[in-house]
Structure formats: C-alpha cells, structure tokens
C-alpha cells in the first residue's frame, strides 16, 4: 500500500491517506500526459472545492479512439484517475468509451479512498465531454450525460 501525504487545512497537521500500488504507479508515472494538437474532441471539467481541473484530448478516426491524452491540475488521485481512464479507452469505439464509469476507473486502480472518488467522476465526465465535443464537431447530437447523485463538482468554462 502506497501513501500520499495531505496537509490538513488550518491545523498544520499532516494526514496519511492509503493509496493502492496502482494509484501510486499512475501518479508517479502517468500515461498519456500532454495535448493532441489536432484533437477532434476535447473535454474539460473541474471541481471548485478541491481545485482539480482535468482536460481530455481525443483523436478519433472511424469511430475509434486512436489517441488520447490528458492534462490534469490536481491531487495524486486526479492524476492517477486521468492516467488510468485514458489507458482504458485507448483503441475503443466511442460507444465503448462512453460506457466507462467512474467505478470502473476506481476499480482498475484497485480502489480510491472514499473522499477521492470524485476524481474518478471527473475522469468519466471529461471523457463524456470530449466524446460529445467530437460528436458535435461532425454534426451529431451529443449523448446525454449521466448525473451523479453525489454531484460534487461543476463544469469549468474556458
């Protein structure tokens, strides 16, 4: 079990949160980091409470995600969730990628602490926004996005 340290707000104390080895690996060595200059689908989401911002870039050809990259400003869980999510959708059809849930991202990371599950929700929603951006760019209607019952973040406008 890896550990990341988090400084508690206002009290100066340091709290250790247990993270799986997979979370630590994707945090330390994230996959698919960067931008795609000729991306044809881009999705950006953020959580104003914790400051995480996640941007997903897709290169779609013949309904297949040929390349995917991300840029995330945030905690270790947000970076690990972005990294794992991009690994899980690369080479998939848009329909398969749309079905990727935040739970599947968290499960692929061997779990996230409950207070960090919102990071996997951000990854799911950034992918959905990128897919809808692509669909709209080719004249198709966007697919309906799932609203999470614990909707603890808002879209980033920019």
Give me the pLDDT at residue 56, please.
Answer: 99
Going from N- to C-terminal start, the domains of the chain cover 21-137
Is 18's pLDDT higher than 90?
no
CATH class (in words) of the domain with range 21-137: alpha beta
Catalytic site residue 119? Answer: yes
Tell me the C-alpha distance between 105 and 2, whole Å: 18
Burial grade of 117 (CB within 10 A; 0-12, 13-18, 19 or more) = buried
Number of CB atoms found within 10 A of residue 141's CB: 8
- What global pTM score does this model have? 0.84
Q: Of the listed 17, 24, 50, 156, which one is catalytic?
A: 50
Beta-sheet strand order (sheet of 41-47): 41-47, 52-61, 64-73
What pLDDT, in 10s, does the model give residues 24-71? 999 999 999 999 999 999 999 997 777 899 999 999 999 999 999 999
| pLDDT-based confidence at residue 7 (cuts at 50, 70, 90) | very low
Tokens 């993270």 sit on residue:
19
Q: Of the listed 88, 119, 122, 130, which one is catalytic?
A: 119
| pLDDT-based confidence at residue 11 (cuts at 50, 70, 90) | low
Catalytic site residue 75? Answer: no
Give me the pLDDT at residue 71, please.
Answer: 98
HSE-CB of 38 using CA atoms within 13 angstroms:
3
| pLDDT-based confidence at residue 156 (cuts at 50, 70, 90) | very low
What pLDDT, in 10s, does the model give residues 94-136? 999 999 999 999 999 999 999 999 999 999 999 999 999 999 9
Radius of gyration of the chain (CA): 15
Give me the pLDDT at residue 149, please.
Answer: 55
Number of CB atoms found within 10 A of residue 49's CB: 10
Is 153's pLDDT higher than 60?
no
Beta bridge partner(s), residue 69: 57
Give me the pLDDT at residue 10, please.
Answer: 53
Q: At what angle do helices 21-28 and 76-89 cross, to 10 degrees?
A: 90
**Residues 6+ positions from 73 with CB-CB distance below 8 Å:** 51, 52, 53, 54
Is 151's pLDDT higher than 50?
no
């Amino acid at each position: 079990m890896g550990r990341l340290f988090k400084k508690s707000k206002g009290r100066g104390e340091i709290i250790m949160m247990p993270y799986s080895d997979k979370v630590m690996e994707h945090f330390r060595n994230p996959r698919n980091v960067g931008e795609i200059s000729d991306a044809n689908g881009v999705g950006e989401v953020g959580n104003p409470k914790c400051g995480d911002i996640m941007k997903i870039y897709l290169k779609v050809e013949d309904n297949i995600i040929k390349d995917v990259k991300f840029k995330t400003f945030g905690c270790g869980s947000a970076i690990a969730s972005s990294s794992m999510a991009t690994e899980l959708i690369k080479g998939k059809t848009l329909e398969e990628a749309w079905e990727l849930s935040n739970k599947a991202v968290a499960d692929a990371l061997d779990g996230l602490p409950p207070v960090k599950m919102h990071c996997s929700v951000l990854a799911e929603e950034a992918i959905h926004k990128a897919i809808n951006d692509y669909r709209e760019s080719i004249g198709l209607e966007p697919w309906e996005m799932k609203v999470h019952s614990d909707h603890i973040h808002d879209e980033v406008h920019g």
